[in-house]
Structure formats: C-alpha cells, structure tokens
Amino acid sequence: MLSLAAVSAGYGSFQALFGVSLEVPRGKAVGVIGPNGAGKTTLMRVISGLIPLRGGAMSLEGRLLDGLPAHRMVEQGIAHVPENRRLFPRLSVEDNLRIGAFVPQARQRFAEQLDWVYNLFPRLKDRREQAAGTLSGGEQQMCAIGRALMSRPKLLLMDEPSAGLAPLVVAQVFELVHRIRAEGLTVLIVEQNVQQVLEVVDRAYLLEVGAIKLAGTSAELKDNSFIRKSYMGL
C-alpha cells in the first residue's frame, strides 16, 4: 500500500535519511526500529509531508505522494500520531477529536467516526469534556490515536507511541495497537521498544544512521542474533 523507494531527506545541511526503501502492505502492521537519532521520526515526518523529500519517491496505492504538504496527505488517507502525542492541551478531548475530522470527507461522517473511536476507547467518552492536557499519559495516547483515526485513514503512522509512559501503560498502548489492527487498518509504527513492538507487527525494518540495515518478518528479527544482542539485551 505505502511504498518508499530510495527516499532521502534532511534538515538544512544535515541529511537524516539516505536512500530508505520500504513497503507497507495493506492490512499489515510494519515496524521501524532503531536507536535514538537513527532518523525514525524524520522518516515519519517525510511520509506525512511535514518534511519534503530530497530524493527518491513515495507512493500510496500506486499514487505518487511527492511534494504534497502535510494537510494534503490527510486527504490521501495518511494519519500521523506524532511523537509525544502533541494534543492540543487546552482543547477538550472531543474538540481534539473534532480537529482530527477536519478534512471535508471526514466531516461528513463525524458522528459515525466519533462513535467508532469512543467504542474503541470508552475512556475517552468518559472524559470528552475534559481538557486534553489534564489526561493521564495513557489516556493522552488514546486521545492522540483517536484524533488520527477520526480522519478514517487508510494508513496510520505511529511515532514512538510508548515514549514517556510507565511500563504498565506501555503494555496498554501496545494492546491498543492490537485493537486498531483488528479493525483492519494498515499501521506503520516507529519504536525504540523493540521487544514489545515485534510482538504487534508483521514485519520490521532496522534503521541505523539514516539507512535500512535489516528487514524481515518479526519472527525473523526476534531470532536475529544482532537484534537480540544490540536491541533486546539478550
């Protein structure tokens, strides 16, 4: 569904990605793992249009996405749950979700989508009037995911959903990923929490210093001695 071919990108004179190629098949969950500063967040930002491509090509369902700004990517069916959630802290939970349905095609189905998200995350419904900034870390992550789902995306990008959360909450967040997958969504997830992300994805790529070092099914990567030694501490 999503296909990246030799994508390069960076900020100013700094190049963060060097010829990254990857595939996310429809209905699958794909992980990108790697250390801090490997370019994982840059990769997400390139796919959602926050940073322009410098080289290579990117397509969704065969349509080229190159050069589209972020607000047009949502119309194409890509929703991005940003690193650190980035909720609008003084807006209510429901207003955060409403913003998620900003694009015209999502607005028409706002009520239906809202029911769906509240069904998926009943906690959000209990807290719909509350300012998003007052939610707990796990609830904020639910709200951020819910906000992205409101646009009824084909592809959901998740950037470090477990970052900054307590271990128990991290387990809950990965359980959320399971629930989203069960809804038939295609997911691309970037994580430092290698062990747990390999439990929820079908395939994964290892990104190091802006380039793909390894790729395989999650079972293959779990057995890979380099991954086990460097990323799982086994």
- Residues lying near other proteins in the complex (CB under 8 A) are found at 48-50, 69-72, 74-75, 79-80, 82, 86, 88-91, 95, 98-103, 106-107, 147-148, 151
**CB 82, min distance to other proteins, A:** 6
Nearest to 24 by CA among 95, 72, 77: 77
To the nearest whole angstrom, how small is the minimum distance from the Cβ of residue 93 to other proteins? Answer: 13
Spatial CB neighbours of 112, under 8 Å, sequence gap ≥ 6: none
The pairing of beta strand 211-217 with beta strand 203-208: antiparallel
SS3 annotation, 185-199: CEEEEEECCHHHHHH
The DSSP-derived string for 37-64 is: TSSHHHHHHHHTTSS--SEEEEEETTEE
Which CB atom, from 101 or from 198, has the smaller least distance to other proteins? 101
State the minimum distance, in angstroms, from the CB of residue 98 to other proteins.
5
CB nearer to other proteins: give 96 or 186. Answer: 96
CB nearer to other proteins: give 40 or 203.
40
Residues belonging to the chain? 234
Q: What's the closest the beta carbon of residue 156 comes to other proteins, in angstroms?
A: 12
Q: Which SS3 state, helix, strand or coil, does residue 14 take?
A: strand
- Cα separation, 142 vs 174, in Å, equals 11
For residues 2 and 194, which CB has a smaller minimum distance to other proteins in the complex?
A: 2
Q: What's the Cα-to-Cα distance from 191 to each of 32, 44, 157, 205, rounded to whole Å?
A: 6, 11, 11, 11
Closer residue to other proteins, CB minimum distance, 32 or 212: 32
The secondary structure element, H or E, covering residue 75 is: helix 70-76
* Shortest Cβ 130–other proteins spacing (Å): 15
Give me the least distance between CB of 87 and other proteins, in Å please: 8
Q: In terms of CB distance, is 135 or 227 closer to other proteins?
A: 135
Which residue in 45, 127, 131 sits closest to 88, CA to CA?
131
